Structure 1
């Protein structure tokens, strides 16, 4: 099938894009890489009167490494992030999650902003942003604002973005010291969306105690999730007192909105979720211990 007819707009600057979106109102939809929206339009599962394409807005692309953080423009492609030495060094969790996104053709077009705005619960970037306490930047006719990742994802394919806002960038704070990171996920086929996945970041002190940790969950709820209760339980404990299997079980034990369908029942997702959390925790602890 082909999309229903729509008017196409390609602004060359952020101010023009924001103005267009405000002018066109509810009849307009923003497109970045198009890897999520175009299939929906082609299958006529979604309809728009106006499509505002952001790929020419240069100020929404690029990677800026700062003293304590890394800023990434929303229009930066996943392939650019995958190839970035700065990202690999400064935000290892993001670097390791990126190759798991579809195939290289998808990553050549897909953008970090598009992935975050689409807010798929099984996608890697929302889980990474949540795990690392990233901050999302948005622009509208009334100005700019910053939204913590913990407040950005509000439900199934929904975010805190207002109708007249455009996601312009995302900032990832740096983890220093003895830190380790890991991403694990399980899917029926390589490169498919995962039934369940985990993103883990751990920092150890000089005595091998957990100074801080973050456990992200993907595919296990209506949005990406954090296992905050288990993180609090683990903080301050010595690594020898912790087993990866216990971490995995505890991380998923309190989940009550796990998706279920005829192929993947909720209980199976939870069992897989516990396993991938355990694997990710083990790998992250190993890396932090060796740092």
Structure 2
């Protein structure tokens, strides 16, 4: 199929982008790796595509004490090779699993968040790290946690006249460790199940905070505070993560794997990556 007819504009200022989106008949175009197939299948029929790649403030990344801020038009490949992104270890862990290199050369980090695919890696990272999404719209700019931004499968808190401006990931601190794993039938395919973990330890090496986010297991990334789980079951995490899987994995089965298979997979990955994150946190604490 071919896309329905549409107009195309490429403003150079954010205010002009918002002006083009006024009325709700426009659609933001950044990388287009998700949008173009939707248009080709005529699942979406916007009157105007508003290309944001010419807006300078949206095409860069900055790093300071507030975190690593990624503009909405910055390519995933640029972030993957940005030295400043090393301060957010989960980006380096996950980025090679985001589609294929060719897709990352066009796709954007914020575009993945805005698309909100339940099996996508970047929204899961943002939720686990408590990243902040910045939006601009008719009422001005606003910021919200990534967990609140993603509201369901392919659904976000952004309105039809809003544009995602940036996402800011907190920098890793001493005493923090991270884990990432997913399983797909082929590299670059959507994950059958995946987990992202962040663990913090205190001066004595004891766990003070632990978060786990699962993706590919529900209609959105699912985040849980697993501090008590890790403290109580550090010696043998599998039974505890298996019980957690029963509670959070609710995606239906398909030709790639049943719900039961995904629960078993999630339980194994969760136990492994929580353990790895804990060991890395203790190593970073000792090295700080």
TM-score range, shorter chain: over 0.9
Of the three residues 231, 245, 255, the one matched with 1:252 is 245
The reply on whether 1:150 has 2:147 as its aligned counterpart is yes
Any idea what SS the aligned residue of 1:26 has? Answer: coil
Quote the Cα distance in structure 2 between the aligned partners of 1:5 and 1:36: 18
Q: Check the 8 A contact 1:247/1:281 in 2, yes or no.
A: no
Q: How many residues align?
A: 284
Question: Hey, which bits of structure 1, 4+ residues long, moved more than 4 A?
Answer: none
1:77-116 to structure 2, matched below 5 A, reads 77-88=75-86, 90-116=87-113
Structure 1, 150-159 or 240-249: larger mean CA deviation: 240-249
1:280 to 267, 273, 276: 273
1:13/1:259 Cα in 2 relative to 1: closer, same or farther (>3 Å)? farther
**CA–CA distance in 2 between the matches of 1:234 and 1:206?**
20
C-alpha deviation, 1:175, in angstroms: 3.1
Counterparts of 1:1-291 in structure 2, within 5 Å, are 1-22=1-22, 25-88=23-86, 90-228=87-225, 231-234=226-229, 237=231, 241-255=234-248, 257-291=250-284
Worse overlay, 175-184 or 110-119: 175-184
Distance in 2 separating the partners of 1:244 and 1:34: 41
Per-residue CA deviation, residues 194-238 of structure 1 (Å, 9 max, x unaligned), is: 01000011111122211111101100110111023xx14236x27
Structure 1 186/201 Cα, relative in aligned 2: closer, same or farther at 3 Å?
Answer: same
Q: Which piece of structure 1 moves more, 101-110 or 276-285? A: 276-285
Q: TM-score, normalised by structure 2?
A: 0.93
Is contact 1:221–1:258 with CA below 8 Å preserved after alignment?
yes
**Shift in Å, 1:41:** 1.3
Is 2:30–2:73's contact at 8 Å kept on the other side of the alignment? Answer: yes
Given the superposition, is the C-alpha separation of residues 109 and 256 from structure 1 closer, same or farther in structure 2, using an over 3 Å criterion?
A: closer
Q: Give 3-state SS (helix, strand or coil) of 1:254's partner.
A: helix
TM-score when scaled to structure 1?
A: 0.92
Cα offset for 1:150?
1.9
Q: Separation in 1 of the partners of 2:63 and 2:77?
A: 18
Q: Is the 8 A contact 1:198 1:217 kept in 2?
A: yes
Give the gaps of 5 or more residues in structure 1.
none
2: distance between equivalents of 1:2 and 1:168? 29
Task: Quote how far apart the aligned CAs of 1:251 are.
Answer: 3.1
CA distance in 2, matches of 1:259, 1:226: 19
Counterpart secondary structure, 1:183: strand
Map Cα deviations across residues 182-202 of structure 1 (whole Å, 9 max, x no partner).
110001111101010000111
- Aligned partners of 1:93, 1:106: CA distance in 2, in Å? 19
CA–CA separation in structure 2 for the residues paired with 1:147 and 1:98:
23
| Mapped partners of 1:58, 1:243: distance in 2 | 50
RMSD: 1.7
